[in-house]
A and B are shown apart, each in its own frame.
Chain A
Amino acid sequence: AQKITQTQPGMFVQEKEAVTLDCTYDTSDPSYGLFWYKQPSSGEMIFLIYQGSYDQQNATEGRYSLNFQKARKSANLVISASQLGDSAMYFCAMRGMNSGYSTLTFGKGTMLLVSP
């Protein structure tokens, strides 16, 4: 079984500052992938960044980077230079690679509010 834990129900940050959203995971799969999604109030899940369990380097996508610490089973999302448009729910998710089918296990999410 896979489990994702996001312990921060809400985070506040000022515009242009960096923010870290926490995510820890648990899985017995030797190979897995970790995802972060952004969900604005409209409801659509927007893919942000992906980290494979065997990737040697931390993933980066523009202002998003994933701080992957495999031994600690953590995959924190770092958003640099926050913008007002970053205000949304953020979900960490995991996909096991050994399942007969691919699906995502999500955490409960963190609400990020960016203030001017």
Chain B
Amino acid sequence: ETGVTQSPTHLIKTRGQQVTLRCSSQSGHNTVSWYQQALGQGPQFIFQYYREEENGRGNFPPRFSGLQFPNYSSELNVNALELDDSALYLCASSSTSASSYNEQFFGPGTRLTVL
């Protein structure tokens, strides 16, 4: 059973650019959630995808968008990057048919730096 993987590990972009982060969910998981973790803070929920549809979103602007593919892998896209977008981006997968508490399994994260 493979765990959650994310790519790339690190990324440096400049203001105004666009970025795409990728996540492969754990085998058998059909739900992917994305979180943003700024330095010194706890992760904040961006959005969640279930069976290729966005089914929940946190307080993030529309320039944060995502996709989920038929194999349940996912992308996070951020347009018009701002300095405050510098953060660790975490992907977590879960299964609605798993344990009663739907444990979320996290990937190692992508560290994005915006200059």
Contacts and interface: CB of A to CB of B under 8 A. Distances in A.
Interface string A1-37: 0001000000000000000000000000000010101
Given A101-B56, A102-B102, A106-B43, A44 B33 contact: no
Contact of A43 (B55, B92, B102, B109): B109
Interface of B is mostly: strand
B101 A95 contact: yes
Interface residues of A, number: 26
B111 interface: yes
Interface residues of B, number: 29
B111 A43 contact: yes
Given A44-B107, A101-B55, A103-B58, A52 B42 contact: no
Contacts of A81: none
A103 B48 contact: yes
A103 B45 contact: yes
A91 B42 contact: yes
B108 A107 contact: no
A95 B102 CA distance: 10
B108 A100 contact: no
A102 B94 contact: yes
A105 B108 contact: no
Interface string B24-56: 000000010101000011111100101000011
Contacts of A84: none
